[in-house]
Structures are given as C-alpha cells and as structure tokens.
Chain A
Amino acid sequence: MQSAVIVFPGSNCDRDLATAIELVTGRAPTMVWHRESELPAGTGLIAVPGGFSYGDYLRSGAIAARSPVMQAVKAAAERGVPVLGICNGFQILTETGLLPGALMRNAGIRFVGRDVALTVENSQSIFTSRYEAAEQVTFPVAHHDGNYSADADTLDRLEGDGRVAFRYAEEVNGSARNIAGILNAAGNVLGMMPHPERAVEGAHGRTDGRRLFEGLLEAVA
C-alpha cells in the first residue's frame, strides 16, 4: 500500500506515524512536505501527524489547513482516499472543513500528556474494524487543544450517524460528550486526539493502536 505522511514545519509525530505504518504495512510511507501541491500518484492512505504545525499560531492547525498540500489532501479525501488525522492532524482536518467542529483549549487549561482509556464507539469503520464494539482500549494523549466543540445539532448528527469513533472513558479535556475521535459522513476520514501510533509495539508498553493500522491495511489493500 502506497501511503503518505504529511509534514509541516513543527510536526513532531510524523516519524512515529511513518514507523507505525511501515511496521504494519511493510512499506514506508512517502513523507510529503507542506509546500507540495500534489500527492504521489497512487496514494491509498494519507496520514496527517501530530505536532505543533506553524507553532500553533493563530489557532492550532489553522495555518497548516491553508497550506498547498492540504488542498491536495482535501481533493483526495473527497475522492474517497482514507485520511487519518491524529492530534494536530485532527485539528488540521477540522480547520480544513473535512471534519465538523473545532478543538479548543483543554477545559482545565493544562497540557494533558498521559495514557487514557477510550471506548470504541463504532467498530464498523475502515479505521476501527479490528476492534470490538464498546471495547475499551488505552492510547496515550498529549495535547493542549483537545477540547472538542460543536453545536448541539452537529453533535446529535455525529452520534445519530455513528460518526463518533472513539469516546474518552474518563474526563480528559472537557470535550463535548467526551468525544475523542470522529468520522466524516462518508467514513473515509478519521480525526482523533489520542495517539494510536504510540501504542503499536512492545517497547511502547501497549499495542492497542496497532489494530487501527491493521484494519486500514486490510481495508485499503
């Protein structure tokens, strides 16, 4: 599977994400710099990594979302190419409009960096097919702006359409309805604050994240 990891100035999870993808798919992704206006031909999976793109200036993800490469990512997402945005990647996907809502400053103001328990809310998506419905998993989080916010109608629609992929099983950052990760309407775009790529091998201490990439590989291959 040909995959791409997008790299912005200030990305810092790009290599972790590339390592996780290579570990599971057996093929290293192409690292695509933010100034590129095209993705490599045949890209079957796009991953938007965590970090602090453009120093989080203006709003987290705001400037990255307007970069040339994100126009190409948006076009690919609209064609149905799977897009996975993690942490800052999730913030960027909401800022581009590929996902609804916004990620605001954590309700407790503090940066949260620890392992958190999540519930898999939708186990039917291309990202979560290797999990059981209502299964509890543990992924690390590391963010300052992870407080998911959207109006009540949007939240109801997300819930009603099964687009909440992951929910925090504990209070983490004040997110509306404890939302940790959401899907777009077509189901090919997932944004999530927790880091599955930091839980893929024994040395990480846990491997709950590995199945997300395995499921994707199966769906895309």
Chain B
Amino acid sequence: MKYRILVTLKPGVLDPQGKAIHHALEGLGFDGVEDVRAGKLIELEVADSVGQPEIEEMCRKLLANTVIENFRIEAAEPARA
C-alpha cells in the first residue's frame, strides 16, 4: 500500500523558500503569480497491516513538525484485494 504525505507550512507561517521561488518566477517573466508556498512530499510504501491511524502517528511524531507544519495523507493507490 502506498501513501503520499503532503507536508505544508501552516497558513501565516513565513515561507522564505516560497518567496524566493516567487521572485524567480517573476524574474522569468511569469506575471500573475499571487503567492507561492513550498512544502514536502513524502511517499510511504507500507504493509497492508499498517492503517491510517499509524500513518497519522508517523506524521505527528516525525514527518511533520506540527508547530509550523500541517500534513495531509493521501492513499496513492487502492489497497490490494
């Protein structure tokens, strides 16, 4: 079973990397970009016995720093029959 974990900065937390990307896009002549926020994508391949609650625990304990980051878990493929 494959999961995708999307880790993003909480709203309101300053994102210097997003800002730098934004500037670079403007430098390339892409107008109309209003905001850029950079985050992380982590892919987990886990045994079928590992459930969503465990994935959430992994996120809270290590994959995201919940002081500054939010996380979202997506099943990347349906569970094997």
Residues of chain A having any CB pair with chain B under 8 Å: 58-59, 62-63, 66, 94-95, 100-102, 104-109, 147, 149-150, 174
Contact = CB atoms under 8 A, between A and B. Distances in A.
B16 A174 contact: yes
B-side interface mostly: helix
Contacts of A150: 67
Contacts of A94: 67
B20 A149 contact: no
A94 B20 CA distance: 25
A-side interface mostly: loop
Contacts of B62: 58, 62-63, 66
Given A101-B67, A109-B16, A149-B13, 16 more contacts: A58-B62, A59-B65, A63-B62, A66-B61, A66-B62, A94-B67, A95-B65, A100-B67, A105-B16, A105-B17, A106-B16, A107-B14, A108-B16, A149-B67, A149-B68, A150-B67
A7 B67 CA distance: 26
21 contacts: A58-B63, A63-B62, A66-B61, A66-B62, A100-B67, A101-B67, A102-B65, A102-B67, A102-B68, A104-B13, A104-B16, A105-B17, A108-B16, A109-B16, A109-B20, A147-B14, A147-B16, A149-B13, A149-B67, A174-B14, A174-B16
